[in-house]
Amino acid sequence: MTNDLYSQMAQSVIDGEFEVAEDLAQKGLAAGLPPADILDKGFVKGIEEVGDLFGKGEFFLPELVQGAEAMKAAVAVLQPELDKMKEGRKTMGKAVAGTVAGDIHEIGKTIVCSMLSAAGFTVTDIGCDVSVEVFVEKVKETKCDLLLLSALLTTTMPNQQKTIEALKAAGLRDGVKVMIGGAPTTRAWADEIGADGYAEDAIEAVAAAKQLVGAS
């Protein structure tokens, strides 16, 4: 029954049906399923399938956009529940997150922000296509403990490196832990560019973030 609901959630994203996705997210919450599981076992499976079909040339840009819209609609329904999980807790640390310049993929970054926030971090999401200068400015302004850099395109991964270099040049690198992620990135890439942390998904990101701020 639960598995059936999860596969319907995935299917709603594959079909790009945002109203169905919203409805299923609500049904999942009403059934008492944990919001993180609804995302991970349901909707994320759908958007991964959309990516595979796009990669194989079976889906085109309109289907990609519709799938992303359905995914975003589901995340919006789950967000208030994820927010409730952190109520009344002391903050674990301050994090700033964004997708690097030239890259408008925001779903994964937004999920990482939601999970970190649910885990007790104070998160400032500065969006996507964020320039190196804006990242540096935000680190200076917020004095955050953690900077999260997302990249979903092989062509934008170098901007993670450029941001780290710019932090060094601005004398801010020692005061902030930098964690990178996004589908094409790897731990080896994180090491190569001198990031402090890397995680493959949002669940791992929470564990890694806690470790980086000494909270685990």
Binds ligand B12 by CB under 6 A, chosen from 77, 166, 180, 193: 180
Residues 6 or more apart from 180 whose CB is under 8 A from it?
148, 149, 150, 151, 160, 189, 190, 193, 195, 197, 198
When the beta carbons of 1 and 17 are compared against ligand B12, the nearer one is 17
CB of 88 to ligand B12, least distance (A): 26
Kindly state the helix (H) or strand (E) to which residue 212 belongs, with its residue range.
helix 202-212
Contact 24, 9 (CB under 8 A): yes
- Tell me if 75 sits within 8 A of 107, measured CB to CB: yes
- Is residue 12 at the binding interface for ligand B12, with CB under 6 A as the rule? no
Kindly state whether residue 33 participates in binding ligand B12, applying the rule CB under 6 A: no
Q: Residues 11, 12, 114, 150: which binds ligand B12 (CB under 6 A)?
A: 150
Residue 201 is a binding residue for ligand B12 (CB under 6 A): yes
Is residue 196 a contact point for ligand B12 (CB under 6 A)?
no
Instruction: Give the DSSP per-residue string, 53-102.
Output: HHHTTSS-HHHHHHHHHHHHHHHHHHHHHHHHTTTTPPP--EEEEEEBTT
Using CB under 6 A as the binding criterion, the count of chain residues that bind ligand B12 stands at 37
111 forms part of the interface with ligand B12 (CB under 6 A)? yes
Q: Does the footprint of ligand B12 cover residue 48 (CB under 6 A)? A: yes
- Under the criterion CB under 6 A, does residue 101 sit at the interface with ligand B12? no
Given a contact cutoff of 8 angstroms between Cβ atoms, the answer to whether 124 and 97 are in contact is: yes
* Distance of alpha carbon 66 from alpha carbon 86, whole angstroms: 31
Q: What is the DSSP letter of 40?
A: I
Confirm if 135 and 161 have CB atoms less than 8 A apart.
no
Rule CB under 6 A: choose which of 5, 85, 134, 183 binds ligand B12: 183
Taking the complex as a whole, how short is the minimal distance between the CB of residue 57 and ligand B12, in angstroms?
9
For residue 163, the minimal CB distance to ligand B12 (Å) is: 11
109 lines the binding site for ligand B12 (CB under 6 A): yes
Cβ–Cβ contacts within 10 Å for residue 129, how many? 16
Tell me if 9 contacts ligand B12 by CB under 6 A.
Answer: no
Residue ranges that bind ligand B12, judged by CB under 6 A: 44, 47-48, 50-51, 54-55, 61, 64-65, 68, 102-109, 111-112, 148-150, 152-154, 179-184, 199, 201-202, 205
